[in-house]
């Protein structure tokens, strides 16, 4: 059985088009089997986008676990420079195709230059990889936030949103719940300025 967090999905690459509206803009995206939420925008990502205001134009943002690119493309349409990372090769290919001429770099995490810092990290993180693996993943990327930068994460209440919030605070990232809707929490974790 293949999972969306496999590097090379073994399910058929059957492409289809979905339509998504974010921040008053409708656009079509190409999706496929073997990637997260291949049938359209998942509820958690929809909550993250609808309950959030994009960073200002020019912000450098990491889309952690980009899937087929709805977060990355929506942020890039608002003038952000986006690094979209995922372990799934098909997801990265779809994100690049969906981004077209937008300022999105869809690459494996290992290809993000070490000197790149982020004004923000936006993610519907891959909770199902397990708590330890998720903490390890976040421990790699959160230190790359610029001082005062924000990680904006959406997590299901029943999938550990409250325990993740506590863990983020314990790691030194003041974290607040900025929205709660449809069983999902939107968390805002900040990198301290000092």
Q: What is the pLDDT of residues 117-168, one digit of tens each?
A: 999 999 999 988 889 999 999 999 999 999 999 999 999 988 889 999 999 9
Roughly how many angstroms between the first and final C-alpha of the chain, as a whole number?
46
Answer whether 20's CB lies under 8 Å from 40's CB: yes
With a cut of 60, say whether residue 3 has pLDDT above it. Answer: no
CB of 171 closer than 8 Å to CB of 179: no
pLDDT for res 106: 98
Exposure of 24 by Cβ count < 10 A (0-12 exposed, 13-18 middle, 19+ buried)? exposed
pLDDT digits (tens, 9 = 90+) for 37-63: 889 999 999 999 999 999 999 999 999
Output 103-106 pairs: Cβ under 8 A, ≥24 positions apart. 103/76, 104/69, 104/72, 104/73, 104/76, 106/66, 106/69, 106/72
CATH architecture of 44-190: 3-Layer(aba) Sandwich (3.40)
Alpha-carbon gap, residue 117 to 42, rounded angstroms = 28
Q: Which residue has the higher pLDDT, 135 or 34?
A: 135
Determine the pLDDT at residue 10.
55
Q: What does pTM read for this prediction?
A: 0.93
| Average pLDDT score over residue span 99-111 | 97
């Amino acid at each position: 059985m293949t999972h969306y967090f496999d590097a090379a999905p073994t399910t058929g690459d059957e492409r289809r088009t979905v339509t998504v509206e974010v921040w008053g803009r409708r656009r079509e995206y190409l999706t496929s089997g073997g990637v997260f939420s291949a049938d359209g925008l998942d509820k958690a990502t929809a909550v993250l986008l609808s309950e959030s205001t994009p960073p200002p134009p020019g912000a450098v943002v990491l889309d952690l676990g980009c899937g087929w690119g709805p977060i990355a493309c929506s942020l890039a349409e608002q003038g952000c420079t986006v690094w979209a990372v995922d372990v799934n090769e098909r997801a990265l290919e779809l994100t690049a195709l969906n981004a077209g001429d937008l300022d999105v770099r869809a690459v494996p995490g290992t290809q993000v230059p070490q000197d790149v810092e982020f004004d923000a990290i936006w993610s519907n993180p891959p909770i199902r990889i397990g708590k330890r693996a998720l903490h390890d993943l976040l421990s790699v990327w959160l230190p790359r936030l610029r001082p005062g930068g924000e990680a904006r994460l959406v997590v299901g209440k029943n999938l550990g949103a409250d325990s993740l919030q506590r863990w983020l605070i314990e790691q030194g990232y003041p974290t607040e719940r900025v929205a709660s809707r449809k069983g999902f929490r939107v968390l805002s974790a900040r990198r301290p300025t000092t």
